[in-house]
Amino acid sequence: MPELPEVEVVRRGLAAHAVGRTVAGVEVLHPRAVRRHTPGPADFAARLEGRTPTAALRRGKYMWLALDDGSMLLAHLGMSGQMLVQPQGKPDEKHLRVRLPLSDGNELRFVDQRTFGHLMVDVPGERADVPASVDHIALDPLDAEFVPEAFVRALRARDTEVKRALLDQSLISGVGNIYADEALWRSGLHGRRGTRGLTRAQATELLGHVRDVMTEALAVGGTTFDGLYVNVNGESGYFARGLNAYGREDRPCGRCASPIVRESFMNRSSFSCPSCQRPPRRSRTA
């Protein structure tokens, strides 16, 4: 499940293996992969063919290739998306959705089992260097322009639950279910705590843990791609190690040994320590 660190690994791979090559062809094998490109697959292909990426950029979980005509190839990996650079002629992956042969003999492949991810050709939005479709996405905590104090202020001004806020990409981007649970565990906060009840110190500490957990995962994830194979695979690397809460139901908390509990939250699972992360005494909305 790609969150910010995994997407950053892929961005680096694209910077190394796609930038500077010209798109020699476009093959959309599954139309759903370009569903956000509203003019359709044929237009998608026409806008890409002959273009040359000049840079690989990212905000939160979105990444894009800046193209030599000022447009952008925007990609979101969704739940299961992968961007691969493979030699042309190598057998197709089972869930190959889009193929982009490049001028150097390799090809960019978008592989996505669950098809929550997508590609589109976009135009610049409010800022010339960010696609219009990414305008509504907040800066991520690893962005040089991210202002911690502004985030802390915005978080405390929200009237919602703290985990919900962490997952809100218009407040802070790049955080998904896994790193939200990990940052909350490190902070000793239950995800159902209200944002209004957080002190400035608590909010600042939480942000610090978000940054730390992402930075640590990036350091591990960075080892998963080598050579021409640019991989983002949620199962590899960071998944196996370093997680203190996510996916650890019934296993002992690393701080107090209480069994980690799983709760349903926003139609997904939340993992927390019942002792270190006390739930709010009453529902926020009660």
Partner DNA sequence: AGTGCTACCTGGAAGC
Partner DNA sequence: TGCTTCCAGGTAGCAC
What is the set of active-site residues?
2-3, 61, 268
| Contact residue for DNA among 124, 269, 274, 275 (CB under 7 A) | 269
Strand 27-28 and strand 62-67: the pairing is unpaired
Check residue 32 for interaction with DNA (CB under 7 A): yes
Check residue 169 for interaction with DNA (CB under 7 A): yes
For DNA, give the closer residue by CB, 27 or 168. Answer: 168
Alpha-helix residue ranges (DSSP H) falling in the chain: 4-17, 41-48, 148-157, 162-167, 177-187, 200-221
**Per-residue binding letters, 93-132, with DNA (x by CB under 7 A):** -xx-----------------xxxx----------------
Check residue 285 for interaction with DNA (CB under 7 A): yes
Q: Is 51 annotated as a binding residue?
A: no
Q: Please, are residues 189 and 145 in contact by the beta-carbon 8 Å criterion?
A: no
Q: Is 193 annotated as a binding residue?
A: no
Of the candidates 28, 22, 25, 24, which has an alpha carbon nearest to the alpha carbon of residue 42?
Answer: 28
Residue with tokens 């370093």: 242
For DNA, give the closer residue by CB, 170 or 223. Answer: 170
What tokens appear for 121 in the block? Answer: 């050709």
For DNA, give the closer residue by CB, 17 or 44. Answer: 44
What tokens appear for 108 in the block? Answer: 């960019």
| Contact residue for DNA among 148, 197, 266, 278 (CB under 7 A) | 266
* Beta bridge pairs of residue 66: 55, 72
What tokens appear for 274 in the block? Answer: 């019942």
| Contact residue for DNA among 60, 101, 191, 237 (CB under 7 A) | 60
Where is 263: in which H helix or E strand? strand 261-265
The helix/strand/coil state of 85 is strand
Judged by CB under 7 A, the stretch of 145-153, 197-205, 207-215, 261-269 that binds DNA is 261-269
Q: Cβ of residue 52: shortest distance to DNA, in angstroms?
A: 26
Q: Is 186 annotated as a binding residue?
A: no
Strand 72-76 and strand 62-67: the pairing is antiparallel
| Contact residue for DNA among 61, 186, 190, 193 (CB under 7 A) | 61
| Contact residue for DNA among 178, 183, 218, 243 (CB under 7 A) | 178
Check residue 68 for interaction with DNA (CB under 7 A): no
Residue type (1 letter), 1: M
Report the distance separating Cα 168 and Cα 171, nearest Å. Answer: 6
Q: Cβ of residue 129: shortest distance to DNA, in angstroms?
A: 18
Task: Give CA separation, 94 vs 30, 54, 112, in Å.
Answer: 12, 30, 9
In the complex, the residues that contact DNA under the rule CB under 7 A are 1, 3, 32, 36, 60-62, 76, 78-79, 94-95, 113-116, 133, 136, 158-161, 164, 167, 169, 176-178, 246, 262, 266-269, 284-285
Residue ranges for the binding site for DNA?
95, 114, 158
